[in-house]
Amino acid sequence: QVQLVESGGGLVQPGGSLTLSCAASTRGFRLNTMGWYRQAPGKERELVATVTTGGTTNYVDSVKGRFTISRDNAKNTVDLQMNSLKPEDTAVYYCWAMAMELTTFLNHNYWGQGTQVTVSS
């Protein structure tokens, strides 16, 4: 099993910054693409950003230029630096990872428990 543990959420004023961090335990698995999703009240979960093992990144249009995703392959961590935060960024943010089971070579999706980000004055 892969376990993902997030940290770094909280309350921030509009225009402020927060960094979310996610640490993965990966015994018996190899991490592939990792990323962050978010879910606002009454809305579906949406992709925010992803990063491959090679460092290729992808962002939803609404966060481009404001958020930066990065990962440390040696430490099995992925961070999301969020700048110029807006009230519409308020949501529960979930760490996500695709990981390959080393015994079966099958890929599986894993999720963290979620961390609340609230942008409000």
Environment class of residue 57 by beta-carbon count within 10 Å: exposed (0-12), middle (13-18) or buried (19+)? Answer: middle
- What value does the mean pLDDT take over residues 34-56? 97
Read off the pLDDT of residues 65-108 as tens digits, 9 standing for 90 and up: 999 999 999 999 999 999 999 999 999 999 999 999 999 999 99
- What does the pLDDT read at residue 1? 87
Q: What percent of the chain has pLDDT over 70?
A: 100
Q: How far apart are CA 111 and CA 42, in angstroms?
A: 20
Mean pLDDT of 33-57: 97
Question: Residue 55: what pLDDT?
Answer: 95
Q: What gap in Å lies between CA 67 and CA 60, rounded to an integer? A: 10
Structure tokens at 13: 């004023």
